[in-house]
A and B are shown apart, each in its own frame.
Chain A
Amino acid sequence: MISLSGVAAQFTELALAVLLAPLLTGWVNQCRAWLQNRSAPPLLQPYRVLNKLFQKEVVLAYGASPLFRVAPYLIFGCLCAAAAIVPTLGTDLPLNAAADAIALVGLLALARMFIALAGMDVGTAFGTLGARREMLVGFLAEPALLMVLFTASLISNSTSLATIAATLAHKEFVIHPSLAFAGVAFTMVSLAENARIPVDNPATHLELTMIHEAMVLEYSGRHLAMIEWAASLKLFVYSCIGLVLFFPFGIASGGDWLGLVLALPALLGKLALGGALLALIEMLSAKMRIFRAPEFLGTAFLLAVLAMLVHVLLER
């Protein structure tokens, strides 16, 4: 059952995700700089930042527990596992039988829980503030993401991501109105979960406006590098989920070596386009007050529920 092309696709996808994630972040930053008419940092800057951070010494607070030290690796591991499940190049992945869409959401939630606990570990005001806000964003964004994935599952009659990708990519071209609703909801959820404007400003220096950055204020050195890498990996994973659900054309079906090779430029092209779109959305919106975030996410959640209802009405 496990084919060689499947194993090759699995390893390539995982390596691609881990290695290309900072490049995606760098590309988004560059697009944003272009749109704001200023000169951009070089495309490979995130790699240089990671390298610099890895070489630095870690400074731990006196009260930090073993959970604090081990959390960055746990978060990185969970996100890598999530990246291994999402089909980006091919749909014949051996790990697909191990985890489906619900498990994917569960892994992302596990990573979020660990980072929130790490934020609370040292016991500073900003750490706990960030943890609280992250869980606030999380408890509304997670069900919204689950409902978006359920809409896709109802269309393809399966919760396995490979089957969803295969169904949506290789069926004859059908317009699903429910996916329109799901798409809007998914965009809103991605913006919130990846700490992008309009929910959180990734480049802010004001602690009272931070959500994600406030939790990691106490981290330094290689720990901070792992967390930054995990954050860019999270953006990569969300982009790939979006591509699987809404633009799955180009993903190779099982056992097709040529398809796998062709899928790589298709993926890069789609990610580049997605990154530019993200920069455009960030440019056109302003960051909202933290207590508008539940309304924003509540709207996303209700749109996702509406997507399921529209599916039941119009597509049976």
Chain B
Amino acid sequence: MLQHHGPQLVNLLASVMLLLAFAMLSQRRIISLINLFAAQGFTLFLSTALVAWLTGQDHLYASALLTLALKVIALPWILHRLIRRLNVKWDVETLINIPTTMLIGIVLVILAFNLALPISLLAGTVTKATLGIALACVLLSFLMMITRSKAVPQVIGFLAMENGLFFAATGAVYGMPMVIEFGIALDVLVGMLILGIFFFRIRERFDSLDTRHLERLKEL
């Protein structure tokens, strides 16, 4: 039964990921944002494990476990600790208001769906229909990075973008070679640590984590 409904379940999990990407776009509170990111990581873990089970590709199990360890447990824990130490409790401020952001998000989704259609016809996997959704997740996370003015949501947008790319890879070519995966995972982890240090430096310099203050570092 699961074999028969497997592709539908993968589609469902893909939709849940898109839903979470939209939810992150419209979310105002920072703690909910981190929890949504963790939920998106968990959905990614589930879908990778399911694809592994459906197609018998065992290296995908390892990818799934890596996702679980990194995106669901380690990174949210680091972010929560950072939030507590930075004593950040504010609501997320946006450069354009949330309804307009969501409208732009819808346009991006339409664009992504249409761009992915011809590619998904070429792919030979069971999950090819989800390429459009993966591309949409990447674009939405990028939009989130652009429209936020504080540093922490921008970083979460960057991490969510990586989620989307990983999902696209699983969907189109059954995952990347393990070497690349470990490399990316290490990059992301180290990047988080360095960005964490940056948060403290920015806060020390400007007394605020608003990245618009970085404009003051220009020559003029």
Report A-B touching, CB under 8 Å: yes
Residues of A that sit less than 8 Å from B by CB: 173-175, 177-178, 180-181, 184, 294-295, 298-299, 302-303, 305-306, 309-310, 312-314
Interface residues on B, range: 20 to 34
Chain A residues with Cβ below 8 Å from B130 are: 314
Are B99 and A295 within 8 A (Cβ)?
A: yes
**Residues of chain B with a CB closer than 8 A to A180's CB:** 12, 15-16, 19
The docked-state distance in angstroms from the alpha carbon of A184 to that of B133 is 18
State the 7 A-B residue pairs at the shortest beta-carbon distance, nearest first: A177-B15, A175-B8, A298-B99, A177-B12, A313-B113, A302-B102, A177-B11
Indicate whether B147 reaches chain A with its CB closer than 8 angstroms: no
Whole-angstrom distance between the alpha carbons of A177 and B8 in the complex? 8
Bound complex: CA A246 to CA B8 (Å) = 17
Question: For the complex, what is the distance from the CA of A303 to the CA of B15, rounded to whole Å?
Answer: 11
Question: What's the A-B contact tally at a CB cutoff of 8 Å?
Answer: 61
Check A306–B22 contact: CB distance below 8 A.
Answer: yes
Task: Check A295–B26 contact: CB distance below 8 A.
Answer: yes
Whether A306 contacts B129 in the complex (CB less than 8 A), given A181-B15, A295-B26, comes out as no
Q: Is there an interface contact between A178 and B106, defined as CB atoms closer than 8 Å?
A: no
Min distance, Cβ B99 to any Cβ of chain A, angstroms: 5
Q: How far is the CB of B1 from chain A (nearest CB, A)?
A: 9
Q: In the assembly, what is the distance between CA of A25 and CA of B129, in Å?
A: 43
User: In terms of DSSP, what is the predominant structure of the interface of chain B?
Assistant: helix
Set of chain A residues within 8 Å of B129, measured between Cβ atoms: 313-314
- Are B18 and A302 in touch, CB under 8 angstroms? no
Whether the Cβ atoms of A305 and B106 lie closer than 8 Å is yes
User: Which chain A positions have C-beta within 8 A of B155?
Assistant: none
A sample of 18 inter-chain contacts (CB < 8 A) reads: A173-B5, A177-B8, A177-B12, A177-B15, A178-B15, A180-B12, A181-B15, A294-B99, A298-B99, A299-B26, A303-B19, A303-B22, A306-B22, A309-B113, A310-B18, A313-B129, A314-B11, A314-B15
Q: Report if A174-B8 is in contact (Cβ < 8 Å); known contacts: A294-B99, A313-B113.
A: yes
Interface string of B1-37 (1 = CB under 8 A from A): 0000100110110111011001000100000000000
B residues less than 8 Å from A314 (CB atoms): 11, 14-15, 129-130, 133
- Alpha-carbon gap, A306 to B14, bound state (A): 13
Question: Which A residue sits closest to B117, measured CB to CB?
Answer: A313
* A184: chain B residues within 8 A (beta carbon): 19
Does A175 contact B19, Cβ atoms closer than 8 Å?
no
Within B107-166, which residues are at the interface with A (CB < 8 Å)?
A: 109-110, 113, 129-130, 132-133
Q: Is B79 an interface residue (CB 8 A)?
A: no
B94 nearest CB across to chain A (Å): 11
B98 in the interface (beta carbon within 8 A): yes
Most buried by B among A173, A298, A299, A310: A310
For residue B110, which residues in chain A have a CB less than 8 angstroms away from its CB?
Answer: 309
Kindly provide the distance from the CB of B206 to the nearest chain A CB, expressed in whole angstroms. Answer: 29
List chain A residues, Cβ under 8 A from B132.
Answer: 313
Given contacts A295-B98, A299-B26, A309-B106, list 4 more A-B pairs with CB under 8 A. A175-B5, A175-B12, A299-B22, A313-B132
| Assembled-state Cα–Cα distance A175/B4 (Å) | 11
Across-interface contacts of B15 in A (CB, < 8 A):
177-178, 180-181, 310, 314
Chain B residues with CB under 8 A of A295 = 26, 98-99
**Closest A residue to B130 using CB positions:** A314
A184, B98: Cα distance in complex, Å: 18
B217 proximal to A (CB < 8 A): no
Interface check B180, CB cutoff 8 A: no
Give the nearest-CB partner of A180 in chain B. B15
Question: Does B220 count as interface, using CB distance less than 8 angstroms?
Answer: no
- Quick one: which of B9, B106, B133 contacts A175, CB cutoff 8 A? B9
CA distance A133 to B140 in the complex (A): 32
**Would you call B95 an interface residue if the criterion is a C-beta within 8 Å of the partner chain's C-beta atoms?**
no
Give the residues in chain B near A298, CB-CB below 8 Å: 98-99, 102
- CB-CB under 8 A from B106, the residues of chain A are 302, 305-306, 309
* Assembly CA distance A184 to B22 (angstroms): 12
B179 at the interface (CB under 8 A from A): no
Cβ 8 A contact of A306, one of B5, B9, B109 = B109
Give Cα distance in the complex from A269 to B98, angstroms: 39
**How many angstroms from the CA of A181 to the CA of B15 in the assembled complex?**
8
Give A260 to B209 CA distance when docked, in angstroms: 62
CB distance from A131 to the nearest CB of B (A): 23
A178 to B129, CA, bound (A): 14
Query: Which residue of chain A has the shortest Cβ distance to B14 in the bound complex?
Result: A177
